[in-house]
């Protein structure tokens, strides 16, 4: 019985690998990008790229495990949801009011430890922010 269950689970796992996610990034227009527009310090730009841009921009870098279902589905969900909230690659298209709201939300999420998401920092150690890096990001967003 255990062998049959194991075989069914193996076949199911292999079968779900054929349900692929779309890993195509939307076109990036540099004139609209947050970093291009705001010209932050190199350190802040690096922090933004390593902690925010995979989910909140059109410059997602997909890791190898984005090819393995069901992990790929979770990654796709995080990216779609992140871009729905805001997309730093589209910063220049947002109204001043929207930009202010995004900046305030970013500060709040960083202060509360909600961003970057714990699962992301677990797999991307460079996104696990120090207290100093959090302060740099908060200062950057408060200056917008």
**Dihedral (C-alpha) 65, 72, 90, 106: value to the nearest 10 degrees?**
-80
pLDDT at 80: 95
Predicted confidence (pLDDT) per residue in 99-114, tens digit: 999 999 999 999 999 9
Alpha helices in 2-130 (DSSP H): 2-16, 34-38, 42-51, 71-85, 96-111, 118-123
Q: Where are the domains of the chain?
A: 21-143
The rounded distance, in Å, linking the Cα atoms of 90 and 102 is 12
pLDDT at 91: 98
- Are 17 and 11 contacting, i.e. CB atoms less than 8 angstroms apart? no
Q: pTM for the complete prediction?
A: 0.87
Residue 121, CA distances (Å) to 2, 3, 24, 52, 124 in order: 36, 37, 23, 11, 5
Given a cut of 90, is residue 7 above it in pLDDT? no
The reply to whether omega before 116 is within 30° of 0 (cis) is yes
Predicted confidence (pLDDT) per residue in 78-95, tens digit: 999 999 999 999 999 999
């Amino acid at each position: 019985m255990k062998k049959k269950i194991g075989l069914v689970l193996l076949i199911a796992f292999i079968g779900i690998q054929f349900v692929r996610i779309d890993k195509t990034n939307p076109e990036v227009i540099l004139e609209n990008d947050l970093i291009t527009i705001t010209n932050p310090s190199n350190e802040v730009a690096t922090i933004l790229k390593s902690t925010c841009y995979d989910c909140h921009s059109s410059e997602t870098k997909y890791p190898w495990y984005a090819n393995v279902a069901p992990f790929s589905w979770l990654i796709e969900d995080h990216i779609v949801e992140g871009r729905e909230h805001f997309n730093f690659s589209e910063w220049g298209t947002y109204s001043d009011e929207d930009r202010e709201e995004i900046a305030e939300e970013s500060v709040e999420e960083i202060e509360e430890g909600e961003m970057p998401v714990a699962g992301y920092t677990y797999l991307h150690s460079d996104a696990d922010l120090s207290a100093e890096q959090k302060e740099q990001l908060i200062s950057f967003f408060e200056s917008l």
